[in-house]
Amino acid sequence: MELNKALSELRNQKERKFDQTFDLIVNLKGIDFRKSNLSFIVSVPNKFKEKTVCAFLPEKSDLVPTITKQEFAKHKDKLALKNFVKKYDFFMAHASLMPSVASSYGRVLGPAGKMPSPQLGVIMKDSDEEIKDTLVKISKSAKIRVKEASIKIGVGKTSMTDENVIGNIKSVYEGILQALPLKMDNVRNVLVKLTMTKPIEVQIK
């Protein structure tokens, strides 16, 4: 089914009293997950979900919750560290602090897929402008870690226009394709659903 028809069909199902999420499901084939470690970032043109962000910076910032190097010691306890990491969707860090971040927080940030990276989260300047730019990029990005033959990711809300939801779907799908070793040959099928509906198979052009 074409995307616009699928979204229309999903919207016409039983109305709910909350702003449902549109989910994109990409089912995969031909990948050995024991040997492949697929972890990548996709971006969307239209922001739809607020993300919580914390930063490791040399100085406190008014723009984002900040942990300075002097405060690293307060997360020495592993349980406290895990609870701290759970509070945030993304972490950013000044490049000069990355070795200390890796040694103090890496044991939890790494497995959680939240370690700041040059692709998204590591900043070179401790300036308001660079912090703002990075926060905007994070607000339109999602990290995907593929551990099984199905990727499910939120791509929009029912309060958004179909045009914006479709823009997000196409952008995320293209990002997933680019990360797959055999591109389209690794895709079994693609589906779209709302939080409270069954999925509908779609063709993305």
Q: Which of 95, 123, 139 is the last residue of a domain?
A: 139
Same domain for 128 and 82 = yes
Residue with tokens 């300047």: 125
CB of 11 closer than 8 Å to CB of 151: no
Which one-letter amino acid corresponds to residue 16?
Answer: R
Given this model, what pLDDT does residue 132 score? 95
- For residues 31 and 101, state if they share a domain: no
Domain final residue pick, 123, 139, 155: 139
DSSP 110: T
Contact residues for 34 (Cβ-Cβ < 8 A; gap 6+): none
**Number of folded domains in the chain?**
2
At 194 the pLDDT is 97
**Do 93 and 169 fall into the same domain?**
no
Domain boundary among 139, 167, 184: 139
- Domain containing residue 115: 53-139
pLDDT tens-place string over residues 24-67: 999 999 998 877 778 889 999 999 888 999 999 999 999 999 99
Q: Quick one: pLDDT at residue 124?
A: 94
- Give the tokens for residue 200: 């509908």
- Residues 89, 112, single domain; the answer is yes
CATH number, domain of 63, equals 3.40.50.790
Residues 122 and 162 in one domain: no
Dump pLDDT digits (tens) for 146-203. Answer: 888 999 999 999 999 999 999 999 999 999 999 999 999 999 999 999 999 999 999 9
Q: pLDDT, tens digit, for every residue of 123-147? A: 999 899 999 999 999 999 988 888 8
pTM of the model as a whole: 0.83
Looking at the structure, do residues 149 and 190 belong to the same domain, yes or no? Answer: yes
What CA–CA distance (Å, rounded) separates 147 from 37?
8
